[in-house]
Amino acid sequence: MKVLQFPLARITVGFILGILAVFYLKPNPIFVFGLLFIAFLFFIISYFLQKKTFDKTIYFGIATYFVSFFIGAATQITQTDAYQKNHYTHNNVAFHKPQTVSITIREKLKNSNFNDRYIALINQINDEKYTGRIILNIPKDSLNLPLEVGTTLRIKGILYKNKSPNNPNQFDYGAYLENKQIYAQLYSDREKLEIGLIPIKDIWYYTSKLRTNIIHNLEKSGFSKTELSVAIALIMGQRQDISPEINQDYQYAGAIHILSVSGLHIGFIFLFVSFLLKPVPNTKKGAFLKLLIILLSLSSFAIIAGLAPSVVRSVTMFSFVAIGYSLRRTVNIYHTLLVSILLILLFQPSFLFDVGFQLSYIALFFIIWFQPLLSAIWKPKPKALNYFWEILTVSFAAQLGTLPLSIYYFHQFPGLFFVTNLAIIPLLNFIMILGIVVMILASLGYVPLLFAKPFEYSIYCLNKIVNFIASFEQFIIKDIPLNIYLLISFYLAIIAIIIYFKNPNFKKLIIALMAIIGIQLAFMTTQWNIKKQQEWLVFNLKKNTLITERHGNNVIVYANDSILKNSSETNILQSYLVANFSSVNVKEKLKNVLYYKGTKILVIDSFAVYPKNVNPDVLLLTQSPKINLERMLETLRPKIVIADASNQKTIQNYWKASCEKQKIPFHATAEKGFYILN
C-alpha cells in the first residue's frame, strides 16, 4: 500500500501506538518523560550524523519513530485529566463522605427514566480547587426547568465511581465514560442543591443559548416535535430528544450515521458555503476572504454541534482541504487525513477510543481508496443513473470498510443499507441545504413558513422512508459473534483482496489467499479455545434468577418459567451467548440442588424449602426467603453465600452481617456483579 510509504503515515502510526501504550499499560509519567528526553537526544544526534555524511541513515528513521511514539505517550499523559494533581479522583474522602461540591453545567445529556442528566465541571470540593468532568443526576420534577449550560451549583453529596458491568460481556458504560474522561457521577435532590445567581458566560454558554434560541423559534413556528428532534440531530448533532423508536428505525435501516453530524454533513456545509462565495473574485485578497469565511463557518458549526469527535474530525479535515485549495496546490487526501488525525489526537488523544471517530476515519479511508475502483467498473452515460451509481459505490466502499468494526461493537448488520442510501441520500441533499437556511433564520428569530414547512415535510418523508425499510426485520442480521482476532484477520483479508484487484499479480493473489486462510485459522483457534472453557454463572438480573452452565459453546440455562420462555429476548443472556460463540442447548427449571464439577450448590428460594442433611459448598439465596440465616450457616457451613438481585436489599444487609459474624464470604450480585465458578 502506497499510503504506508508516506513518512507521515509511519509517524502517525508511531504516535497512535504511544497513546495506546500509555492507555493500556499505565506507566509512571516520569519514566515516560525520561524516555522521551532520551529519544529526542537520539533524534538530534542521528540528524546531525545524517547531515554530516549527506546520506540517509537507518538510525535517523528509527529515531524519528521513537520520538513520535513517546510524543504520543506524553500527549496521552498530559491530556488525561486523571494524571493532573488537582483532579477530583485524588480526593479519596469525596468518594466516602458527603462533601460540598461546586460545579458548572457544561452539557445536557439524554434523560434516564428517573433522572435529568448533565455533564458538569468540578470547580471546588470543600473550598479547595479541583478539576474534572462528572455526570450530574437530578431526579425528574425536582426542578421546574432544565438547568442551562453555564449554571453554577453547590451540592452536598458523595461522588460515585463508575461501576464495572454487573454481568459478563455486557456493555461497559463505566469504561465508555472514562474514555470521555468522566470518572464519577454525582446524585442530588433539590433540597441539597444551591443554584448560583450568575452563570459562567463562556463559549459553551453562548453556543447553548444559540441552540436553545433556534429550537424555541422552530417550536413557535409549529414544527412537529418528532420532526424537530430529527432536524436538530441532522443539522446540529443534538440527539437527546430523539425517541427510542425513531433511533431504532434508523439503526435497523442502516442510516444511524446520518443522525450523528459527520463528514457527510460537514461536506454539505463546505460545498454550500463555497457555492455562496462563487461571486467573490479569485484574486489574492478574494481567495483569502473565501478561506477565512469557510474556516469560520466550519468552526462555528463545530462549536454549535458540541465539538463531538466526528464533527471535530470532519471540520479539521475539510479545513485542510480548504487551505490546500486556497493555496492552489494539489491536495493529497491521504496527507489531509493523516494531518487531521495527528492534530486532533494531539489535543484530544481520548478521541482515539471513540467508536464514532474510528468508524468515521475507516469509512473515509475506504471511500477514498476503494470507491474509485468500484466506480471504474461501470460508467453509465445518463447523469441520473451515474449519480445513483456513485451513491451505490460510495455506500458499498464505506460499508465494507466499517463492516468488521461495526459487527465487533454492535453484533448486527443492516442488510438493506444499499436501499436506504439510494433512497435517502438525494433527499438528504435537499434537507441539509434547506435545514442550514432554516437554522440561520431561526437564530435570527424569523422562521418563514415558506422554508419551515418544506423542511418539516422533507424530514417527515425521510422518517417514513427509514421506517418502511426498517420494517423488513428479516433483513437485519443480529447477534453476530466477532472477537478481536477475527476482526484483525477480516481487515487483513479485505485489504489484501483490494490490493490484488487494484493491480493483480501472482504475488498479491498468494497474499490475498493467505489472508483468507488467516480468517479460517482465527475462527478455528477461537472455536478450539471456547471448547476448552467451562464455567458456572449466577447473573445479576433484577427480580429474577438466571444461572448458566457452559461447556464449550453449549449452554444449560437454569431459571424460572418466564425466563425460560423468553430466554432469546433476555439481552443479558444474549450478550453472553454472542460473546462466547455459544447457544442454549438445554433449558431447565431451577432446582434446589445443583452440581458443577464436584461442587454442590444449594438453592433456597421464597418457599425456603430445601433438603435436610445437605452440606453444600455454595449456598445461593433467591427471591428473599424468610430464613434465619445465622442458624442455617451454623448447620450447613457453606464455603460461600451468594445472594442474587432477586432479593430485597434490606434483607441482604442482614445476611451480610450474619456471614461476617460466621466468617463466611458473602457475594451480593447487586453490589459485586455476577458470580462465576470455573
Query: Is 362 within 8 Å of 356 (Cβ atoms)?
Result: no
**Distance, CA of 11 to CA of 345 (rounded, Å):** 13
Q: Hey, what CATH topology would domain 88-200 get?
A: OB fold (Dihydrolipoamide Acetyltransferase, E2P) (2.40.50)
Nearest partner of 369 among 498, 460, 493, 490, judged by Cα? 498
What SS3 string covers 207-250?
A: HHHHHHHHHHHHHHCCCCHHHHHHHHHHHHCCCCCCCHHHHHHH
Listed as ranges, residues in the chain with pLDDT below 70 are 1-6, 52-57, 142-145, 261, 263-264, 306-310, 327-331, 567-569
Nearest partner of 366 among 392, 397, 393, judged by Cα? 397
In this prediction, residue 359 carries a pLDDT of 85
Residue corresponding to grid cell 449550560: 149
Q: How many C-beta neighbours within 10 Å does residue 33 have?
A: 15
Distances (CA, A) of 618 to 538, 598, 601, 643, 655: 12, 11, 5, 11, 15
**Distance, CA of 194 to CA of 192 (rounded, Å):** 7
Buried b (16+ CB within 10 A) or exposed e, 375-410: beeeeeeeeeeeeebebbbbbbbbbbbbbbbbbbee
In this prediction, residue 490 carries a pLDDT of 96
In this prediction, residue 485 carries a pLDDT of 94
Query: Is 546 within 8 Å of 569 (Cβ atoms)?
Result: no
Residue corresponding to grid cell 468494526: 405
Residue corresponding to grid cell 452515460: 381
**Distance, CA of 252 to CA of 185 (rounded, Å):** 32
Q: Is 377 helix (H, G, I), strand (E, B) or coil?
A: coil
Sketch the domain layout of the chain as residue ranges. 2-78, 88-200, 208-362+415-477, 363-414, 484-526, 534-677
First to last CA, the chain: 45
Calculate helix-pair angle for 58-78, 333-347, nearest 10 degrees.
40
**Distance, CA of 139 to CA of 149 (rounded, Å):** 18
- 2, with CB counted inside 10 A (0-12, 13-18, 19+), is exposed
In this prediction, residue 539 carries a pLDDT of 94
Query: Is 233 within 8 Å of 242 (Cβ atoms)?
Result: yes
